[in-house]
Amino acid sequence: DPWRPVVEPTVREMQLRTNGMAPDADGNSTNAETGYTIAGTLRDSRRDGAPVAGARVAIIGTGRYLITGETGRFTFRLSKPGSFRLTAQHPDGTSTERRLSLPNPAGEFDLVL
């Protein structure tokens, strides 16, 4: 069930530095603000690709979900790369799922119901 709560921490380590650089594993200076974005638009194929508002979008197994606004947009920030399953559920109950891997040069992960 993608909507069940996850009881383990979703972030195990966080580092935030402003106006500074953090050393990587080899001691080289790198930007400490790293992360990955999963973003896209949820569209309804039954309504000529119109954006879907009020739908639940989740990353399965992370406990992260959101409700889309009028534009159907969703954005998640993750701290680590990996393989994920993105799922969306329309307010009428229909759903879709997409597998994805980060990093991904495409950057946008639109979903169609």
pLDDT tens for the chain, 113 residues: list them. Answer: 666 655 554 444 445 555 555 555 555 555 545 677 888 899 999 999 899 999 999 998 888 889 999 999 988 888 888 888 989 999 999 999 988 887 766 667 777 78
> Can you give the pTM of this predicted structure?
0.66
Top-level class of domain 21-112: mainly beta
Q: What is the Cα–Cα distance from 39 to 48, expressed in whole angstroms?
A: 21
Q: 110 in helix, strand or coil?
A: coil
Tell me if 65 sits within 8 A of 2, measured CB to CB: yes
Domain spans in the chain, listed from the N-terminal domain onward: 21-112
